[in-house]
Amino acid sequence: MTDSKAFAGMMVAQPAERGKVRRLLSRLGPGNPAAFPWVLMAPTLIVLFAFGIYPFLNALYIAGQNIILSRPHAPRFFVGLYQYQSVIQDPEFWHALGVTVWFTVQAVFLEFWLGLGLALLFRRITVGAGILRTFILIPMILPPLVAALIWRYMFYPGGGLVTYYAGWITRALGFGEIPFLSDPTVAFHTLVFVDVWEWTPFMFLMMTAGLAQLPRQPYEAAEIDGASAWRIFWTITLPLLKPAILIAVVIRTMDAFRTYELIVVMTRGGPGNATTTLNVYLTKVGLEFFDASKAAAISLIMMMIIIVMSLIFIRAMRMRSQSAA
Amino acid sequence: MGGRISIGLTAALIMTVSAPAIVHAQTEAQKALAGTEIRFLQPAMPQFAAIGRFIPEFEQKYGIKVTVDEIPFDQYRQRSLVEMQQRTGAYDIYAVDVMWLAEYATAGFLEPLMQYVKNGDLTDPGYDIDDFLPRAISGTGVWDDVLYTIPLGAGPVGVTLRRDVAEEAGVALPPRFDPSFTTDFMYETAKKVHNPEAGMMGFAQMPGRWFWGITYLPYLYAFQTPETVGNEYVDKDWKITINNERTIDSIEYFVSFRDFMPADSANWGIDEATAMYQAGRAFGLWNYQDFIKGFFEDPEAHPEIVGKNAHLHTPAGPHGMIDPWYGAWSFGLSVDSSNKEAAWTFIQWMTSKEIQERATEFGAGPSRHSTYKSETLAKHQPWWVDVYDFMLKTTNPDERIRVPEWAEISDIMGEEGNRVWIGEIDAATAAANMERRMTEVMRRAGYYIPGRTDLPPQHWRDMSYYDRLPSEWK
């Protein structure tokens, strides 16, 4: 009896509920052009806030404090811009910035030209191109940590595949062993080499996609005019590829700037501090010394550097396009 | 009369047979813990492998399930601190290195243990905390007079040398702690046996940046004079004192071993150097007492070198000084654990007299008087017997200034030292850089705030502090 009464009550309440839903839909649904786009964007905005804006605001807050995670009972207070000042006055930061920029410039430069060269080469290959392309892409598919471990053991002092055969050759030539990971300059370039090995396929992929989109007409016109392949490349291919180049180089620059696994696994920032990039320095401050505030300041400075670098690059590309036009 | 005697004898016999059962009988509080699960975070180290063999026995006895997460040694501090500071109680027990106790304890991450030691419902009556070596307990587990951890094994650092290789070269190695084993002797012997063509390097150092805080320090101490001992890093006012001739000489001595190592060795750490020694390609290697069984004297793992080694203390320096420090891992109970009683039951069982002694058969080190004196230890790890006296009278557990800033101090030392190894700077510049950067670390930590009265005491200047009976700590 009681159940049937409750059921009857629900039946009575249902039209009222339906009315509420209808009113809500009319306020937020397609009928309201001011609100509806926000409703559609809401999931994206929530994700963006949760994973982008909130962490950023939180990092700003932490960088304004004196939080050391391994000293939870130490008094915390607002320190203004002290953490930024502390980072900027730290010679380690400037050294790490220099290493990072130099690493990024070398790696991205080589990756771009090798990737573009391979993409151009593959336009001419007709037999087995698919299989070859798959092989070329393998390094990029590997997780960075796995790639770093593979190379760490390839360069393992004395017993690694590379060190063994390189040592064998250099000894036969009357030289000593090559200190792949022990000499500051050689270690730095070893890391650049591994990064190039891993990420050239990405450039190759982007350039291949870019080349596939190029129109045929300018090439046909150039061929009729008798332009050399070199001239066609510089005056047609490269300018037309600029959008693809821009995207690929900006993505790789941001990525190379943040390289971490490769360096930590292969050299841990050494020898000395020769391969200590900003990310390695940041991790040391944040996760070895647990100085969360200084680490937050470093990460915000890094973010600013990446934004400024990207803007400069995009602007430079646009200016070139405009002057070419 | 005869009947009484036979009854007495029978009772005595029953008591004798059942004594171990009485000692290990579970209390009601321990029985109530059956079904609990505890989690233990530990580094990948031979001594943990040794005690790991006993976990199934513990689980069967107490009905408490133990989950062990093991991670590489060089990532352990980072991982443990990340877990601790999240305050989730993800791990009930942490392995604590002697060097990190100050950091963990001042942060409030560890539970004081004396309340559990003295709790008869949770701790076996035969546990006997005073059976631990006083300096092993005070150095490993005590911070600010409070007991936070119980040691697993505690022993000095040293060097392991190939006795057979030395003999072939006509060099007789002295016994452990013999004053004739000096820094000069070690270098000259390494030079004599160094033969890269035959695949034998004079010594395998660990010059990697991360390892200087472990492997260079014996030489920093060796080059002190009796007057400078205690002031290696700081003076009584916490002013950094590392920029001096002794530091420069010790760095130059450490770096001189570069002559015996491959060109590509600047990043070598414990893995690379130990692998070289184990493969029979190096004459000498830094060691830590707890590693000897697992790294050098395990017949199954390293048949090429077993029985051919001399395990000595690190060499004495020009003024006869030796490194008085010892290393140890211990069990710490997380303050955020929701299974503290079960976790303590595990700790007290693993550090009990019986398990400590039995674990020595598999490579674990002793930290109790009874274990040091046991026949099991003498039979399976005779090299420990030599260090008992040292651990009682000579060792100074605070010689590496146990302060929360140690991780940064050690990192600075490693980076500057490693730069000398690769020829980027000289030892004098490194010592000056160390002093400047360490001073900045101390300044940031507030050590130089005028009038500050809560700075940690410098116990290493008064050894009587370490010799208190373990039960006297809070």
A76 has a chain B CB within 8 A of its CB: no
Lowest mean pLDDT among A6-20, B168-182, B239-253, B255-269: A6-20
Give B-chain residues touching A264 at CB under 8 angstroms: none
CATH numbers and ranges of domains, chain A: 2-63 (no CATH), 87-324 (1.10.3720.10)
Q: Which tens digit of pLDDT belongs to each residue from A177-187?
A: 788 888 899 99
Question: Shortest Cα distance from B424 to chain A (angstroms)?
Answer: 8
Which residues partner with B321 through β-bridges? none
Asked if pLDDT for residue A122 goes beyond 50, the answer is yes
Q: Do A270 and B268 touch (CB under 8 A)?
A: no
Q: Name the pLDDT band for A5 (thresholds 50, 70, 90).
A: low
Q: Which two tokens stand for residue A215?
A: 């129109």
Q: Name the pLDDT band for B18 (thresholds 50, 70, 90).
A: very low
B252 has a chain A CB within 8 A of its CB: no
Residue A162 CA: distances (Å) to CA of A147, A155, A190, B54, B292? 15, 6, 11, 42, 32
A235 has a chain B CB within 8 A of its CB: no
A184 has a chain B CB within 8 A of its CB: yes
Q: How far apart are the first and last CA of chain A?
A: 84
Residue B200: what pLDDT? 92
| Residues whose CB is less than 8 angstroms from the CB of residue B381 and which lie 6 or more positions away in sequence, other chains included | B292, B293, B297, B360, B363, B365
Q: Which tens digit of pLDDT belongs to each residue from B230-245?
A: 899 999 889 999 999 9
> Is residue B293 within 8 Å of residue B48, measured between CB atoms?
no
Do the strands B309-313 and B149-162 form a parallel or antiparallel pair, or are they unpaired?
Answer: antiparallel
Asked if pLDDT for residue B100 goes beyond 50, the answer is yes
The phi, psi pair for B240, rounded to 5°, reads -70, 135
Distance between CA atoms of residues B351 and B138, nearest Å? 16
> Is residue B427 within 8 Å of residue B420, measured between CB atoms?
yes
Three state DSSP letters for A161-185: HHHHHHHHHHHHCCCCCCCCCCCHH
| Residues whose CB is less than 8 angstroms from the CB of residue A280 and which lie 6 or more positions away in sequence, other chains included | A96, A260, A263, A264, A268, A269
> Is residue B139 within 8 Å of residue B398, measured between CB atoms?
yes
Asked if pLDDT for residue A317 goes beyond 80, the answer is no
In B148-164, which positions are buried (b, 16+ CB within 10 angstroms) versus exposed (e)? bbbbbbbbbbbbbbbbe
* Cis omega (within 30 of 0) for bond into A157: no
Q: Which tens digit of pLDDT belongs to each residue from A46-105?
A: 999 999 899 999 999 999 998 888 777 778 889 999 999 999 999 899 999 999 999 999
Give B-chain residues touching A176 at CB under 8 angstroms: 263
Q: Name the pLDDT band for B98 (thresholds 50, 70, 90).
A: confident
A181 has a chain B CB within 8 A of its CB: yes
> Is residue A248 within 8 Å of residue A112, measured between CB atoms?
yes
Q: What is the pTM of this model?
A: 0.80
* Nearest CB neighbour to B411, from listed A157, A158, A288: A288
In B297-312, which positions are buried (b, 16+ CB within 10 angstroms) versus exposed (e)? bbeeebeebeebbbbb
> Is residue B59 within 8 Å of residue B29, measured between CB atoms?
no
Q: Do A289 and B108 touch (CB under 8 A)?
A: no
Report helix, strand or coil for B352: coil
Distance between CA atoms of residues B255 and B249, nearest Å? 10
Residue B21: what pLDDT? 41
Q: What percent of chain A has pLDDT over 90?
A: 47
Q: Name the pLDDT band for B125 (thresholds 50, 70, 90).
A: confident
| Test the B interface: residue of A290, A293, A294 with most B CBs within 10 Å | A290
Q: Do B81 and A182 touch (CB under 8 A)?
A: no
| Residues whose CB is less than 8 angstroms from the CB of residue B330 and which lie 6 or more positions away in sequence, other chains included | B95, B96, B98, B101, B140, B141, B149, B150, B151, B152
Residue B101: what pLDDT? 87
| Residues whose CB is less than 8 angstroms from the CB of residue B173 and which lie 6 or more positions away in sequence, other chains included | B161, B163, B166, B181, B189, B310, B312
Which one-letter amino acid corresponds to residue A229?
A
> Is residue B96 within 8 Å of residue B331, measured between CB atoms?
yes
A271 has a chain B CB within 8 A of its CB: yes
Distance between CA atoms of residues B141 and B110, nearest Å? 10
Residue B199: CB atoms within 10 A of its CB come to 12
Asked if pLDDT for residue B22 goes beyond 50, the answer is no
Residue of B nearest to A187 (CA): B264
In B171-181, which positions are buried (b, 16+ CB within 10 angstroms) versus exposed (e)? bebeebbeeeb
Q: Which two tokens stand for residue B459?
A: 């116990």
Distance between CA atoms of residues A246 and B293, nearest Å? 59
Residue B453: what pLDDT? 83
